[in-house]
Amino acid sequence: MTEKLNKVLLTEGSLQNSQLEDFRYSSGSLELILSSGDNEEGSKVKVLFDWIYSFRVTDEGDLLKMQEEQKGEMLTGLYLVENSKYLEWFNEQSGNVHDEIAHYMLSTVDDVIDILASISPSISVSS
């Protein structure tokens, strides 16, 4: 079954043409700092997950199969992934002990960051 991407709409800022500048993982929380050509000069978008179960960072150039499956749908932005193979793998590994985990995928110009979390991220723009 093919994974389906559902774009998460932002109330402020833009992730179009974004690049991952930095990330920090500490005590279960993940903070991603992105720059975007569509935001004001020098502004950054911070995506903060207060609690995550797993994450991975992959160079977008190494996801040829995924790009082919998505038929050009995978543009820069934040998505919720349905029929997630990553979430299926995690549930198998953890014995299905966790409920209501969602697979978020953040696609940037150069990287794809997959995050498994049960709490939606907070997103803010700073200059």
pLDDT in tens, 24-83: 999 999 999 998 765 556 678 999 999 999 999 987 654 545 555 555 555 778 999 999
User: What mean pLDDT comes out for the span 83-94?
Assistant: 94
pLDDT of residue 62: 47
Residue 103 has pLDDT above 90, yes or no: yes
Q: Could you tell me which residue, 99 or 30, shows the higher pLDDT? A: 30
d(Cα 72, Cα 67) in Å, to the nearest integer? 7
Percent of the chain with pLDDT over 90: 49
- DSSP, collapsed to helix, strand or coil, labels residue 43 as coil
pLDDT of residue 79: 93
Q: What's the pLDDT band for 1 if we cut at 50, 70, 90?
A: low
User: CA torsion 75→53→4→71, rounded to 10°?
Assistant: 40
| Alpha helices for 1-127 (secondary structure H) | 64-70, 85-94
pLDDT of residue 14: 76
Q: Which residue has the tokens 């991975």?
A: 56
